[in-house]
Amino acid sequence: MFDFFWNLGSFILALGILVTVHEYGHFWVARKAGVKVLRFSIGFGKPLLKWRDKYDTEYVIAAIPLGGYVKMLDERVDEVPANQRHLSFNAKSVQARIAIVAAGPVANFIFAIFALAVMYMVGVQSVKPVVGSVVEGSRAAQAGLMPSQQIIKIGDDEITTWQDATFALMSSLGDKSVAVTVRNENYQQQTKMLNLDGWKLDQQDVPPLSSLGIVPFRPQATLSIAAVTKSSAAELAGLKINDTIVAVNGETISNWQQLVNLITQSANKSLQFSVKRQDTIKIISVIPQARVNAQGIEQGFLGVAPIVEKWPQGYIETRHYGPLDSIVRGSKETWRLITLSFDMIGNLITGQISVKNLSGPVGIAVGAGTSVSYGFVAFLSFLALISVNLGVFNLLPLPVLDGGHLMYYIIELFRKKPVSEKTQEFGFKVGALLLIFLTCFALFNDVSRLSF
């Protein structure tokens, strides 16, 4: 229950910030263009808080925190007194209307630059992209990638983090192959050709690295217990922190994954654990609890976390940058996210990426809650990513979105006359239906990922 409210609160905070930024972009440019703004609302429904400024603009914080809007004086919507027609949105030039509509997504992109710049100034902690293992028979294995090699370049992209590697691989979707430059422990460099012919992200929640057979290096989990979940099978059986699991049913356990596999296959079955506690071996009877995973399969659950070995020296780096360098890096990263987002939309259309990977509000809420729990820097990174996605999504040429309005105004710019109201109305209906369908589909994907 705590996780639910934590994720919900984080979602409202993140969405509130990004919607405010987006709508303020429209608001600011509208004011500069001489358009009278009637209302600036964050949220929909019943107003919780409202006030007016000297320009008679009403500011509203409403009860349903799922968006916002800027209402401008517009003769197409309301009757406008003759003495105020010059202040209406529809009376402005098509160039001014394009600027006002485009300002929302642009504000999201500027905010992403700002968030990333602050993140770089505070300091970014990252893990070196060192290969831990390679899945036998995978594309990575066929390319000759080996454990302990550090990926330093993919295609033309310099790689310093696993996020860099993931983005570079996603940008290569649809290519026949990509060059991967690696460095071994002796600092010798090699370039491998990774075959991408026919590669698709067609499985839900399978990361690009995993689908290629690359397993990032992580310190090994030991068989000693670091934490015991309250009311779990482990606590009920009497397992304690610092206990070391030696054997199960007389069979020696050599690694943590072997234990996990055994537990998941033993729901509601009695297991005899041989546990080393201080200098003695104790035999403890454990019955793993049954849980149903996201695929609807019943699995055993023990309720313990292992003590993990320390990271090797130099594998985790924290980088700090000056203000100017941070802004440059934030701008470059924002541009990369923008181009990647458009690439992903294209790959969804062509089928390179499965629509099962679409996420909606629930997915965003879980991501927001997770990033907040990781700290300020992680939350800034999450905000930047979602801000870019929000900006790109709003630029799609669906008539109910900013991109749809821009499409009509650009047509007007070339035709020298507006698109007919009948055509616009039909487009808005079609766009609304498509948007509702996408939202429902994304929500379905979100719910299917949850385990109850």
pLDDT digits (tens, 9 = 90+) for 67-81: 889 999 988 878 888
Residue 92 lies in a domain: no
Over the stretch 175-234, which tens digit does the pLDDT of each residue have? 899 999 999 888 899 999 999 988 877 665 577 888 899 999 999 899 999 999 998 999
Q: Is 298 a catalytic residue?
A: no
What pLDDT, on a 0 to 100 scale, did the predictor assign at position 439?
Answer: 62
Residue 429 lies in a domain: no
Over the stretch 264-315, which tens digit does the pLDDT of each residue have? 999 999 999 999 998 899 999 999 999 887 567 888 999 999 999 998 888 8
Alpha-carbon distance of 2 to 373, in angstroms, equals 12
What pLDDT, on a 0 to 100 scale, did the predictor assign at position 59?
Answer: 94
State whether 233 and 314 are in the same domain.
no
Beta-bridge mates of residue 115: none
Alpha-carbon distance of 94 to 373, in angstroms, equals 45
What pLDDT, on a 0 to 100 scale, did the predictor assign at position 346?
Answer: 75
Looking at the structure of the chain, the number of domains it has is 2
Cβ-based neighbours of 236, under 8 Å, separated by 6 or more: none
Over the stretch 86-119, which tens digit does the pLDDT of each residue have? 899 988 999 999 999 999 999 999 999 999 999 9
**Taking residues 117-129, what's their average pLDDT?**
88
What pLDDT, on a 0 to 100 scale, did the predictor assign at position 435?
Answer: 67
What pLDDT, on a 0 to 100 scale, did the predictor assign at position 297?
Answer: 80
Question: Which of 296, 318, 340 is at the close of a domain?
Answer: 318
Residue 206 lies in a domain: yes
For residue 234, what are the domain limits? 221-308
Alpha-carbon distance of 329 to 117, in angstroms, equals 7
State whether 265 and 214 are in the same domain.
no
Measured N-to-C along each axis, helices 94-122 and 402-415 cross at an angle, to the nearest 10 degrees, of: 140
pLDDT greater than 60 at residue 136: yes
| CA atoms 264, 267, 272, 278: torsion sign | positive
State whether 157 and 234 are in the same domain.
no
Using CA atoms in the order 430, 431, 432, 436, what is the torsion angle rounded to 10 degrees?
A: 100
Provide the percentage of residues in the chain whose pLDDT is more than 70. Answer: 86
State whether 200 and 240 are in the same domain.
no
Residue 215 lies in a domain: yes
Name the 3-class secondary structure at 418. coil
State whether 183 and 303 are in the same domain.
no
Task: Give 416 or 360, the one with higher predicted confidence.
Answer: 416
Question: Which of 276, 308, 340 is at the close of a domain?
Answer: 308
State whether 268 and 149 are in the same domain.
no
What pLDDT, on a 0 to 100 scale, did the predictor assign at position 446?
Answer: 46
Mean pLDDT score across all residues of the chain: 84
State whether 189 and 269 are in the same domain.
no
State whether 177 and 314 are in the same domain.
yes
Alpha-carbon distance of 404 to 168, in angstroms, equals 30
Say if residues 291 and 298 touch (Cβ distance below 8 Å): yes
State whether 133 and 276 are in the same domain.
no
Q: How far is CA 168 from CA 152, 157, 179, 180, in A?
A: 11, 7, 11, 10
Residue 339 lies in a domain: no
Alpha helices in 128-198 (DSSP H): 139-143, 162-171
Alpha-carbon distance of 133 to 140, in angstroms, equals 10
Cβ-based neighbours of 151, under 8 Å, separated by 6 or more: 129, 130, 131, 159, 165, 180, 181, 182
State whether 175 and 314 are in the same domain.
yes
262: CATH: 2.30.42.10
Q: How far is CA 291 from CA 1, 64, 71, 426, in A?
A: 17, 34, 49, 49
Question: Which of 308, 339, 361 is at the close of a domain?
Answer: 308
pLDDT band at 323 (very low <50, low <70, confident <90, very high): very high
Beta-bridge mates of residue 317: 126
State whether 197 and 314 are in the same domain.
yes
pLDDT greater than 50 at residue 134: yes
Q: What is the DSSP string of 227-296?
A: EE-TTSHHHHHT--TT-EEEEETTEEP-SHHHHHHHHHT-TT--EEEEEEETTEEEEEEE-PEEEE-TTS
What pLDDT, on a 0 to 100 scale, did the predictor assign at position 449?
Answer: 46
Residue 227 lies in a domain: yes
Identified catalytic residue from 23, 136, 158, 235? 23
Residue 189 lies in a domain: yes
What pLDDT, on a 0 to 100 scale, did the predictor assign at position 4?
Answer: 58
Residue 207 lies in a domain: yes
What pLDDT, on a 0 to 100 scale, did the predictor assign at position 364?
Answer: 40
Say if residues 59 and 40 touch (Cβ distance below 8 Å): yes
Say if residues 226 and 184 touch (Cβ distance below 8 Å): no
State whether 199 and 229 are in the same domain.
no
Alpha-carbon distance of 323 to 118, in angstroms, equals 8
What pLDDT, on a 0 to 100 scale, did the predictor assign at position 386?
Answer: 87
Of residues 69, 64, 48, the one with CA closest to residue 394: 69
Backbone angles phi, psi at 416, to 5 degrees: 70, 15
What pLDDT, on a 0 to 100 scale, did the predictor assign at position 452?
Answer: 40
